[in-house]
Amino acid sequence: MDNAKTPRGIQSIEVGGQLLLALAHQGRPMALKDLAREAGMAPAKAHPYLVSFIKLGLVEQDGGSGPYGLGPLALQLGLISLQQYDPVRLATPVIEELALQLGHTVAMAVWGTRGPTIVRVAEGPTPVHVSMRHGTVMSLAGTASGRLFATLRAKDAASLGEPLPDAATTAAVLEAGMATSRDGVVPGVSAAAAPVFDASGRLVLALTAIGPSASFDTAAGGPLVAALREAAGLLSGRLGYRT
C-alpha cells in the first residue's frame, strides 16, 4: 500500500483557482453568472474571489461592472512561463513515452541552418536500419519531417535551394495537418511526423515516428497517427498555441 501523503494545500485558493481556469479555458471576458457557472459555483460565492483577484491584477473587470477577464499580472505570468518553456526540453520525455507506446523509434526535429535537423532520438524496440542520430539533416522531399517543415515553413525551405515536395504532397500535408512517408529515402522504412507550434503559430519542432514499413501504420485514422497528433497537440498547448 502506498503510504505517501498528498501535500496539504489551501482549499480556498484551489476553489478560487477554478475561476481563473474557467477564464483561461474560455479565452474571453465573461459575465459573472457565466463565469461562476463554468467554475461550478454560485455567483455570490464567486464574487469575493474575483474582487481579490482584481486587487492582485490576476483579473480585471471592464468598466467596473462589465465582464471579467484575465488581468495584467496573469499576462505577465503567462509570458514569463512561455519564456521558460524550452520546446526540446518539454518534448524529450514525450518522445520517450511515445517510443514505448508505439513500439517504434521516435525523434524530434527542429529547423536548423541546413534544414530539418534531428536533435533527440528515443529508440523503439523494433530496430530501424537508417541514420537517425543527433544532427542528421532530413531530406525536404523524401522524409516525413522534411515534408512537414517544407510545407509549414515554406519560405525557410525555399531559401535552402534543395528539392522540395511536389504540389500534391504539400496539399496532402496541409489537409492532414501532418506528414507521412512510405518507402521514401530508404526502402522498407516509413515515417509519420506531427507539428508542434509555439504561441505565435510557428512550427518549432516535429515529432517523428519511424519504423519498418511492414509494421508501420500511416493510416490517417490509425492509432499511431492519433498518438502523434495528441502528443504534438498537448505540447503545442503547453507552448501557448491556441487553435
Mind listing the pLDDT tens digit for each residue in 87-104?
Answer: 888 899 999 999 999 999
All domains of the chain, ordered by start, with CATH? 11-83 (1.10.10.10), 85-238 (3.30.450.40)
Query: pLDDT digit string (tens) for 127-172?
Result: 665 656 777 889 999 999 999 999 999 999 999 889 999 999 999 9
Could you tell me if 126 and 174 are in contact, meaning their C-beta atoms sit under 8 angstroms apart? Answer: no
- Please give the pLDDT value at position 2: 44
Three-state DSSP at 210 gives strand
Length of the chain: 243
- Mean pLDDT, range 209-225, rounded to an integer: 90
Q: What is the DSSP string of 196-220?
A: EE-TTS-EEEEEEEEEEGGG----T
Chain mean pLDDT for the chain: 88
Name the pLDDT band for 9 (thresholds 50, 70, 90). confident
Q: 499511431: which residue's cell?
A: 224
- Please give the pLDDT value at position 184: 74
State the cell numbers at 236: 503545442
For the whole model, what pTM was predicted? Answer: 0.68
C-alpha radius of gyration, the chain, whole number = 22
State the cell numbers at 12: 480556498
